Structures are given as structure tokens and as C-alpha cells.
Amino acid sequence: MATIDTTNIAGVGTVTIGVFTLDHCPPHATCRDGNRRWTVRINFSFIHNTVSLRDIIPPWAAPPADAVAQMENLVASNLRAYQEMWWNYQQRNPSGNTIGACCLDNQALGGGVVQSATFDPATGTTVVALSNGVTHILPP
């Protein structure tokens, strides 16, 4: 896992947030506490530039809701770095050949289906080519 953020969250302790090199879709950040009691995964989008809780493993050891909200805020505040890391890792991920580097291929969007996508980390834009011949440039 490549770390993007390491922070101390009240009542939880040290939390490391990053992206695994050969991780699976959908795009997400992995948050781990220093004692490895739990893992929180936070989805993020290349289309809407949003974040949302994916899951907590194991659910019975979940950190407090306010700590999870802080983790979501950390991912949201550094979203472009997470998107860039995900994109770069997925370019080299063998499973990316069938599902697309940012996990958008074959998803419905704007009256078509995503056939291919590219992400520009410098601008934070995602360009998607649809089955209906339309290309969308999605702003950061």
C-alpha cells in the first residue's frame, strides 16, 4: 500500500490511508488503524469527484462514526492524489485490461456506455468515450 495520509484521530489513534497497488474496483482508499483492529474502505469517483463509505472490516470492530467521517473528509480533501495513485496503479494492473484503468468501462453514462476513459492527474479531468460516439470531459 502506498500511503497518502497518516494522521492521528481522537479516540482512534494513528490512521494510515492509501491505495494498494493491485487493488480491485471500484476505486477506493484503504484506511487502517495503527493496531490493525479494523480497516475502513472509502470509495471515490472519477465521474462525480465524491467519496463514500464502502465498508468496515470487521464490522464488529468499527471505529466511531465521527472517526469514519474524518477519514472520508481526508480522502475528499486529497481526492486528486488518490485518483492519480489509483489511475497509475491500475495502468499496470493485469485485471485493468478487462475493466478499464479507472473502473469505468462498460458503465452507463450520458445515454451511452463507457468504452474507454483517461484521467489527467495534472488537471483532475476524466475523459470518457461512449458507445454512442459521444466523448465527455468530466471536470475535477
User: Tens digit of pLDDT per residue, the chain (140 long)?
Assistant: 788 899 999 889 999 999 998 888 899 999 999 999 999 999 999 888 899 999 999 999 999 999 999 999 999 999 999 999 998 888 777 665 556 667 888 888 888 889 988 899 889 899 999 999 999 998 87
What pLDDT score does 61 carry?
95
**Within its chain, how far is the Cα of 4 from the centroid?**
12
H/E run at residue 137:
strand 135-138
Pairing relation of β-strands 51-57 and 108-109? Answer: unpaired
